[in-house]
Structure formats: C-alpha cells, structure tokens
Structure 1
C-alpha cells in the first residue's frame, strides 16, 4: 500500500508519520458532533485526517490541529494545503499543554495515545504517538475545561475500559459525560472502543448508542458504510 490514502474529496500523504490512518481516527472524524461549530481543535492530529474530515462535514468551521511530532506536523500542514479546505485548517506544532489558546473552542476532539502501562514501542516516534499515562488525560481534561466555550464538547475515542476511567476523571473538573458511542468489530464480540462526549456542567441525560463495523469477515455493516460513504471511495 502506498503512502497516499485517497478519500472522495481530499487525500492524505502518510509518509514520515509514526501513526498512520486507522479506524479509530476515521470513526471519530465521522461521528464527532456539534450543532453549529465555529472553531474546532484536533489534539494530536497526526496525518491531519480527522481535521480534514471535520472541515468537509462542517463547511464553514475553522480547525486548529495541534501535533507534538515535528515531522507529522509538517506532513499534516502539507495535506491541509492540498485540500479544498486549506483556508480553514491550521497546524500548531507542539504539545497542547504548551500552546497559547487563540480562542475558546466549540469542539475539541482527540484520538489520543492510550497504551497505558503497556510494553513501550522501541521506536521513539511511535512510542510518542501511541503510549501515554494517566497524567496525559488529567492534563487533557484540565486543558479542555479552560479551552471550551460554555456549551463546548470534548470528544475522545478510547478503549472502552479507559473511556469509563477518563469520564470519571473528567467529573472532578466539571466535564460531564453526555453521550457515548460503543463500538465493536463483530456482532458477537466485546466492545473495543467508546467515543465519549463530555460537556461543561450540564443536566443533560446521558445517551448511549452502538456501532458494529463488520457483519462477517471482510464484510462491512450497512451502518458503517453509511457513516463513511461521504469519505471512502469504496463506499
């Protein structure tokens, strides 16, 4: 497979990026929700695919994309520049902890590193992209509660057990779980990922839905195909 991943309205060059396009990223890009987002922040943008998907879905939104890895940040900016949405996409190279927040955001999204307490990857750049500890998530929720507008939403895709832990952690800073999308590979398997939506102090009742990716081996469900029909050439 080449380094270029082609979507219906844009393409993503993945060369030099430690983390390639994956199912988690495209699911978050397709499922992230906000009624009328004016400004979105994508934390750990990598190739830039989530930011590009959001720019396609919300045709007036501006997206800032922060990326700590210099090579990935340059690649994301290149992908943005070659897209139809170039004027609405902006890369910030560095960590979100150190960035100067240019505005408050309606929506913050992240497909973060999540291999907590796992054997670390010997490749330093892949380790940076994939491994973290709970301090990262404490920093993330602390940052988000300051950087979000009053009705803003933080949305993360995480392994299902970690999603519960992070949602519980977020309560302490006033971010409340209002929605979860639980994801499984096949109808008869366990849930492997959850997209959680966290809002500032709210009395909203939590909603929960589910998504199954495959009906059978190499056979996608109709729900998955409908979700990604506007993006994937194969659908």
Structure 2
C-alpha cells in the first residue's frame, strides 16, 4: 500500500485524470453532482467513507484504495499480508507451482518481487547473484540486469521491450508503490547492439507482413 501526504481530493483527481475521464462523466456514474465532485477534488468538501468507496469503484482503484481512505481520515479496509500468512491460499499457490513441474513456475507480487517458486524455477534462479539478486529478489531485474540472466536470453531486445511496455501499463493502471522506481531501473539496463539490431530487423519484418 502506498503511503501519501496528499489530500484525498488531490488523489481522486489524479486517478480521474489517469483514467482520462471528465468530472461530468465520473459524477454521473457515481451519482453525485459535478459541483460536489469538484469541491471534493479541490478540498472544499470532505468525502465520506462511502463516497470514497463509490469513486474508487468507478475509477477502478483497487490496491491503492487504502491510501485514499487514510488521506480522507478513515482506517484502511483492505489489509495487505505476506503470502506465508494467508494459510489455505498460500497452500494453494504452492500446490499450483508444484503442479507445473517439470516446467518452471513462480509467484510474484505487484512489484514483481519473488514470493514463491517451484524446484525447477529454483534451478534458473540459482545463478542469479550480485546486484541482480539483492533482496527482495525482483524477477524482472534478474532477467534484464547485466549480472543476471540477460546473457541467456536470445531475444533480449524483444524481451526488454515487452517488459518495459508491461510495467509502464501496470504503473499507469495501478500506480502501485515501487513500480516507478522499478521501471526507471529496468530502463537503465542497456541491450547489446546485436540484440537491438535483431529487434529492429524483427520489427521491420512484422511491418512488412502487415502491409
């Protein structure tokens, strides 16, 4: 959960703009007047817990909802717990990972930090050392870091482009804590020139097929 000192109205306006929706659109969908929504966003009105819930539902704010409750002066509703504390859910995750063997499989959190892995995946990650393996182990950093698994990825340029695109979309969608820093770090890992050339060549072939 993200902690913030921003007023709840500022956070709601930020989410509305991130979703590219107008005040009129959101107010109609959430069943309040545009003036009331404007007053909430500018701090002239304080939303109730129920109003925050309605606006979060309409704006598809999920993981970061607790931050809005706190900013509005209310206690968080959805606690975040470690995988090991989830009892039957943790056992179910472990069963799914084991059932994927002999294929590698892992479970990660919203920041792509490793939560659990089966034995086969442990073999892949066993060679991740140094800076790429600093705890908590981030599986995207491990694949793109020069000291990680990047040397084993034949289409590294394509993989890097896919990862960056995926994290950017995730950041825009969720605004989850730590994703912006992760994205900046991943963008700093350069791809060897040969892989970049191969990516450009593949892109030209795709465009050629489309035309």
TM range, smaller chain: under 0.3
Larger Rg: 2
**Which structure: greater helix fraction?**
2
TM-score by length of 1: 0.21
Query: Normalising to structure 2: TM-score of the pair?
Result: 0.23
